[in-house]
Amino acid sequence: MSNPEFSNPIVKWVDYRLPIFSMMHHELHEYPTPKNLNYFWNFGSLAGIVLGIMIVSGIVLAMNYTAHIDYAFDSVERIMRDVNFGWLIRYIHMNGASFFFIVVYIHMFRGLYYGSYKAPREILWILGVVIMLLMMATAFMGYVLPWGQMSFWGATVITNLFSALPIIGEYIVTWLWGGFGVDNATLNRFFSLHYLLPFAIAGVVILHLAALHQHGSNNPLGIDIKKKGDTIPFHPYYTIKDLFGLGVFLTIFVAVIAYAPNYMGHPDNYIPANPLVTPSHIVPEWYFLPFYAILRAVPDKLFGVLAMFAAIAVLFVLPWLDRSPIRSAKFRPVYFIFFWVFLADCILLGYCGAMPAEQPWVLISQLATAYYFAHFLIILPVLGLYERPVDLPLSISGGSPDEDAPAAQAAE
Amino acid sequence: MPDTAYETNDSHDDFDKGRRDFLYMATGAMGAIGAAAAVWPFIDSMNPAADTLALSSIEVSLAPIEEGQSVTFKWRGKPVFVRRRTAAEIAEARAVPVGDLIDPESDDDRVKDGKDEWLVLVGVCTHLGCIPLGQKAGDVKGEYGGWFCPCHGSHYDTSGRIRKGPAPLNLPVPPYEFLTDTQIKIG
């Protein structure tokens, strides 16, 4: 790391004692980034920004929220009606959760398409899956807080998943509830954990970034950086591109908050929780639907729960299931097809999850579940052995990988 | 290196090395036990509190319940279904061979002796905890005339036993006793 010369004496004084300016210079300005990143590489920084939006809006909401079964629903209604801009802050937080998952799911499918999980980025990918799991837990507990009908029954169904475990299941569920059902103790602990987990996510994000900066970003060609001409500094080139993407994102986000703030929610959650009446059709938030479909596809309680958790667990070992040394789907003609089939399968599962547990949806979700696992456990390992990849380019900027062609540099 | 003398001492003295390993293991084990002991109160604090456990029994009057009618009471934050069954419902529950059931249990074992018409159940689906329909007159009662869980489609019969769907077990019968002919204590 070459330490830059700072002209500002205060910056110089601070940097000598705490080298944050050197670090920022190193990680942002010097940090070499492949010059061919497309717009799918915007979603990582976008996810970080949405996390920030969620933490800030959440802290403000917590100032007016009451975590008690008799007051929670009314305190949320008070935020909506009486607190200055409370409606706006709550809609930002509510829709922010959905947009967080949209951004992260695109970010993950980007990783799947371009093989970003392959060596040497396996830990980077695994940390990402950990972040997704923490997000799911946080989103689930946050959804319980308004204490509407969907909050209550969503919490009941999800906590009951653990009762499927043999012998210890019942004890675990009672322990999770702090009682004999979802009740005040449950609401209180969910609020406590809902406030805690985003900071845990932020911690894992820092590890995710540290792992990213070790080997740098993957790129659409999926080949390594061979020479200086393959890269450009992160700042200002990608800071400005990320900012442009953020502008587009915020335009869509604000449009939804302004014109369709309840589009992704359920009307039943505006009915206060009633422990004696289950809504006729319980559906989780849209971002859980594919996993919910997998849960319901298996007719056995324990194996349904195990299949649902396995659907996420399989992502942890993905870097070792995909045996192909080629990263990008651009150069893997067969994987290219299976990638899109897999994406369609995930969307189909999501659709099945929203449908009632009747035929033909049960059968369709069973087939889609089987395909989901086949993709990871059969198709990917076999493709690694038999697929003939297309010839890779020699380097990102073309030409010989050994030398920096002056012509290529001039073209930048 | 300033610690040459220390290294020499360490590598040549086997007795000392064994003793050091033992101390290392013993310290680690004590630390682990201590940490586990310190963590337990925090874990146990999340189990039901004393006041929650104290609210564990209710008394219910059966006098106003007509034949064929069902009434729901709240016990431990959960619904308890009390159904005064008709003769036809009792006969239906007893007609099915016990061996054919998903969770085999005879109707006799699910009611008190001589009180065949009174069925008392915890009204929580054994699949994922929804409240089955079938308590109100207009409710869907499922294919076996008992209860139907709308969440994932479990059907219960007139004895509250699981007959079809993903639920693994019958609706449980809570601990209860008859105080008088028209008064029961649940819990």
Residue B52 distance to chain A (closest CA, Å): 6
B77: which chain A residues are within 8 Å (Cβ-Cβ)? 179-183, 275
Half-sphere exposure of A241 (CA within 13 A, CB side): 18
The pLDDT of residue A403 is 59
The pLDDT of residue A407 is 46
**Is the ipTM of this structure higher than 0.85?**
no
CA–CA distance, A157 with A308 (Å, rounded to integer): 14
Active-site residue, B152 included: yes
The pLDDT of residue B29 is 95
A278: which chain B residues are within 8 Å (Cβ-Cβ)? 130-131, 149-151
Residue A174 distance to chain B (closest CA, Å): 7
Supply A75's token pair: 């305190």
The pLDDT of residue A411 is 42
Q: Which residue of A has its CA nearest to B50?
A: A179
Which of B108, B153, B99, B147 minimizes the C-alpha distance to B128?
B153
Nearest to B77 among A179, A278, A358 (CB): A179
The pLDDT of residue B78 is 84
Active-site residue, A241 included: yes
B127: which chain A residues are within 8 Å (Cβ-Cβ)? 160, 301
CA–CA distance, A96 with A161 (Å, rounded to integer): 27
Query: Are residues A280 and B72, on separate chains, in Cβ contact within 8 Å?
Result: no
The secondary structure of A170-197, three-state, reads HHHHHHHHCCCCCCHHHHHHHHHHHHHH
Contact yes or no for A154/A284 (Cβ under 8 A)? yes
For testing the chain B interface, which of A152, A183, A276, A366 should be mutated: the one with the most B CBs within 10 Å?
A: A276
Supply A239's token pair: 């800071």
Contact yes or no for A393/A221 (Cβ under 8 A)? yes
Query: Are residues B129 and A156, on separate chains, in Cβ contact within 8 Å?
Result: yes
Q: Residue B41 class from Cβ within 10 Å (0-12 exposed, 13-18 middle, 19+ buried)?
A: exposed
Nearest to A276 among B48, B79, B152 (CB): B79
The pLDDT of residue A179 is 87
B39: which chain A residues are within 8 Å (Cβ-Cβ)? none
CA B120 centroid distance within chain: 16
What are the C-alpha distances in Å from A165 to residues A169, A170, A304, B64, B129?
4, 8, 11, 41, 15
- Return the sign of the alpha-carbon dihedral for residues A322, A327, A332, A335: positive
Nearest to A178 among B46, B152, B168 (CB): B46
Which of A373, A380, A360, A264 minimizes the C-alpha distance to A313?
A373
CA–CA distance, B43 with A174 (Å, rounded to integer): 12
Residue A193, C-beta contacts closer than 8 angstroms, at least 6 positions apart:
A137, A138, A141
Residue B5 distance to chain A (closest CA, Å): 36
Nearest to B166 among A156, A276, A301 (CB): A301
Supply B139's token pair: 């409710």
A176: which chain B residues are within 8 Å (Cβ-Cβ)? 46
The pLDDT of residue B33 is 95
Residue B140 distance to chain A (closest CA, Å): 11
Supply A297's token pair: 């596809």
Ranges of residues in chain B whose predicted pLDDT is under 50:
1
Query: Are residues B48 and A185, on separate chains, in Cβ contact within 8 Å?
Result: yes
Query: Are residues A275 and B78, on separate chains, in Cβ contact within 8 Å?
Result: yes
Query: Are residues B129 and A157, on separate chains, in Cβ contact within 8 Å?
Result: yes
Residue in this structure with the two tokens 């194996």, named with its chain if needed? A303
The residue from A26, A213, A235, A301 that is catalytic is A213
Predicted confidence pLDDT, tens digits, chain A (412 residues): 456 788 899 999 999 999 999 988 888 887 889 999 999 999 999 999 999 999 999 999 999 999 999 999 999 999 999 999 999 999 999 999 999 999 999 999 999 999 999 999 999 999 999 999 999 999 999 999 999 999 999 999 889 888 888 888 889 999 999 988 899 999 999 999 999 999 999 999 999 999 999 999 999 999 998 888 899 988 889 999 999 999 999 999 999 999 999 999 889 999 999 888 888 778 889 999 999 999 888 877 788 889 999 999 999 999 999 999 999 999 999 999 999 999 999 999 999 998 877 788 889 999 999 999 999 999 999 998 898 888 888 888 877 666 555 444 444 3
Peptide bond into A360 cis (omega under 30): yes
Nearest to A180 among B72, B78, B150 (CB): B78
Three-state DSSP class for B81? strand
B47: which chain A residues are within 8 Å (Cβ-Cβ)? 174-175, 178
Q: Which residue of A has its CA nearest to B150?
A: A280
Half-sphere exposure of A34 (CA within 13 A, CB side): 22
Nearest to A175 among B46, B52, B131 (CB): B46
Q: Which residue of A has its CA nearest to B168?
A: A301
CA–CA distance, A211 with A120 (Å, rounded to integer): 10
b/e per residue, A133-162, with b = 16+ CB within 10 A?
Answer: bbbbbbbbbbbbbbbbbbbbbbbbbbbbbb
B78: which chain A residues are within 8 Å (Cβ-Cβ)? 180-181, 275
A178: which chain B residues are within 8 Å (Cβ-Cβ)? 46-49, 52
Query: Are residues A282 and B130, on separate chains, in Cβ contact within 8 Å?
Result: yes
Residue A296 distance to chain B (closest CA, Å): 8
Question: Long-range pairs for B101-110 at CB < 8 Å and ≥24 separation?
Answer: B101/B161, B101/B162, B101/B163, B102/B161, B102/B162, B102/B163, B102/B168, B103/B161, B103/B162, B103/B168, B103/B169, B103/B170, B105/B159, B105/B161, B105/B170, B107/B159, B110/B159, B110/B160, B110/B161, B110/B170, B110/B173
The pLDDT of residue B129 is 83
